[in-house]
Structure 1
Amino acid sequence: MRLLLRWLVNGLMLLLVAYLFPSISLTGPFSALFTALLLGLVNALIRPVLLVLTLPITVLTLGLFTLVINGLLFWFVSALVPGFHVAGFWSAFWGALVYSILSWAASALIVERDR
């Protein structure tokens, strides 16, 4: 139940990010839910591999390269989902940053209420 609730919250936060950034667009709530699901899968499966492969540059940049990886994965998911469009890398970078902050805050509120 908690996983389903987080998925719905992430979909809503994705709609909010699309509302805040004109260079990020979603065609509707179902594409937001599908995008949130795919973002979760990509972050669970591909992101750890990329983090290990780019460990030297991540250490060299004191962890800031992780933000670039997040932006690239956000942009990658926009290429896979037909109803989700990101205009370019910088839009993906800032969109991924705001999306992660909003979804983290909303998930923290849900978990606190659930306990």
Structure 2
Amino acid sequence: MGFWKKAILDTLIFIAIAGFFPSMFHVSSLWMAFVAAVVVGLLNRFVKPIIVLLSLPITALTFGLFYVVINAFMLELASWALKPDFAFSSFGATLVTAIIISVVNMIVSDHFIE
């Protein structure tokens, strides 16, 4: 999936999660959700490979489950950069959001987008 398609999909996911779980996740506007999706995409492209490489032993020990924590950390970095317009209530909320984003991206990528 291309960068812009993924950014638009992540924007929609951010808006949906903020609507369904307003006490754990806040996005101030549709524009801010798009900016956050672009920031997360850039972090995933440039920072995430370094963190994945550094955390390879623990990722192997947890059979890949630590990768979800890395995804949540990328969301937390974006939240830190875009506060107060894009914020999570806790790291647990960030983990839940990372899991939802991963599952939705997997479903959409496999079934709907070539």
TM-score relative to the length of structure 1:
0.85
Amino acid at match of 2:98: A
Q: Give aligned-pair identity as a percent.
A: 27
Cα deviation, residue 100, structure 1: 2.0
Partner of 2:40: 39
Structure 1: which 5+ residue stretches go unaligned?
A: none
Partners of 2:18 and 2:26 within 8 A in 1 = yes
Q: 2:91 aligns with which of 83, 89, 92?
A: 89
Deviation per CA, 1:26-56: give whole Å up to 9, x if none: 0010000000001111111111111100111
Tell me by how many angstroms 1:108 deviates. 4.2
SS in 1 for 2:87: strand
Q: 2:43, 2:74 within 8 Å by CA — same for their partners in 1?
A: yes
Unaligned runs of 5+ in 2: none
5 Å matches for 1:7-46? 7-22=7-22, 23-46=24-47
| Runs of 4+ deviating beyond 2 Å | 2-7, 103-110
